[in-house]
Structure 1
Amino acid sequence: MRRVRAVISGDVQGVGFRYSARERARRLGVAGWVRNLPDGSVEAEVEGEAGAVERMLAWLDRGPSGARVASVAVTETPVLHAAEFTIER
């Protein structure tokens, strides 16, 4: 099991990034959350099997159609318990 926190910067708000991330996570079988930050970046936490987390990080790096991802900063975090995928405002 792997858990990472990612901060995605660039033109990512207002293009359905959070909704698209939730849908992608469900398809990959990972849990976590996504929220917009005041500076215009998006923060996500993703947890699941290592391969699925890697695929989710690769998707975050590309972003959904309409997003222009400048960078993704990834930090490993400890896995304390299984989570469901949620979207925060």
Structure 2
Amino acid sequence: MRKVRINVSGRVQGVGFRFVTKMLADSLGIYGSAKNEDDGSVTIEAMSQNDMSLEQFIEKVKRSPAPFGRVDSFNLEEDLTIPETNRFITN
């Protein structure tokens, strides 16, 4: 299973970014979480057995899945220590 942690900043809080990210994850079979950070960014932990689905998810997050969102900064890191889950949640 491939696991990644993504941190995005820009217009990503208060625009439905986490909600739409969850909808995207659910549609692609991606598990993990999305949470707002105190600095105004959003951290996403995402995992999938299907590398093509995960790549599609990553590309859509880079462009902001939320219509009124905007990603100015995008940081991705592979992290095998992210705990496995069988759903996608928003905190």
Task: Indicate the TM-score class for this superposition, using the shorter chain for normalisation.
Answer: over 0.9
Structure 2: any 5+ residue segments left out of the alignment?
A: none
C-alpha spacing 1:14/1:34, structure 2 compared with 1 (3 Å): same
Shift of 1:68: 1.1
**What letter is aligned with 1:85?**
F
Q: How does 1:5-44 map to 2 (within 5 A)?
A: 5-44=5-44
Structure 1: any 5+ residue segments left out of the alignment?
A: none
C-alpha spacing 1:8/1:81, structure 2 compared with 1 (3 Å): closer
TM-score (norm 1): 0.92
Q: 1:57 and 2:77 equivalent?
A: no
Aligned residues of 1:2 and 1:79 also touching (Cα < 8 A): no
Counterpart for residue 2 of structure 2: 2
Alignment partners' CA distance in 2, 1:68 and 1:51: 24
TM-score (norm 2): 0.90
Shift of 1:3: 0.6
Shift of 1:80: 6.5
C-alpha spacing 1:16/1:79, structure 2 compared with 1 (3 Å): same
Secondary structure of the corresponding residue to residue 82 of structure 1: coil
Alignment partners' CA distance in 1, 2:82 and 2:46: 13
Aligned residues of 2:45 and 2:82 also touching (Cα < 8 A): no
The ranges of structure 1 where at least 4 consecutive aligned residues each deviate by more than 4 angstroms after the TM superposition are none
Aligned-residue identity in percent = 34
Secondary structure of the corresponding residue to residue 15 of structure 2: coil
Counterpart for residue 77 of structure 1: 79
Alignment partners' CA distance in 1, 2:17 and 2:70: 10
Shift of 1:79: 5.8
Shift of 1:82: 3.5
